[in-house]
């Protein structure tokens, strides 16, 4: 399945990059706040209400660091992006 989702970069590359990220996070090497503060583009940042990997509080903290960022809670949604109801996301974006 991964080879179908990531043909351009290759599933092995995706797995290696994910492993690197997980190791950094496990070693408490979070992204420095200043990197978020440097973002100047308006952002929509959402989290699922059933997410087991990222909390609403963590997401709201990141939103607070970015000028012109907006928080959105995705109802009945878990973490993996391939399980998100895209119709909900599209409706939310179109409301803005």
Higher-confidence residue of 5 and 74: namely 74
Domain positions in the chain are 1-30, 33-96
CB-based burial label for 92 (10 Å; 0-12, 13-18, 19+): middle
Question: Does the global pTM surpass 0.85?
Answer: no
List, in sequence order, every residue forming a beta bridge with 47; answer none if it has no partner. Answer: 73
Q: What is the mean pLDDT of residues 71-76?
A: 88
């Amino acid at each position: 399945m991964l080879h179908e989702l990531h043909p351009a970069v290759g599933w092995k590359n995706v797995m290696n990059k994910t492993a690197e990220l997980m190791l950094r996070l496990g070693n408490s090497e979070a992204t420095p706040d200043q990197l978020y503060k440097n973002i100047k583009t308006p952002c929509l940042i959402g989290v699922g209400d059933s997410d087991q990997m990222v909390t609403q509080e963590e997401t709201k903290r990141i939103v607070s660091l970015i000028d012109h960022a907006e928080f959105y809670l995705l109802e009945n949604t878990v973490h993996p992006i391939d399980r998100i109801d895209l119709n909900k996301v599209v409706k939310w974006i179109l409301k803005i």
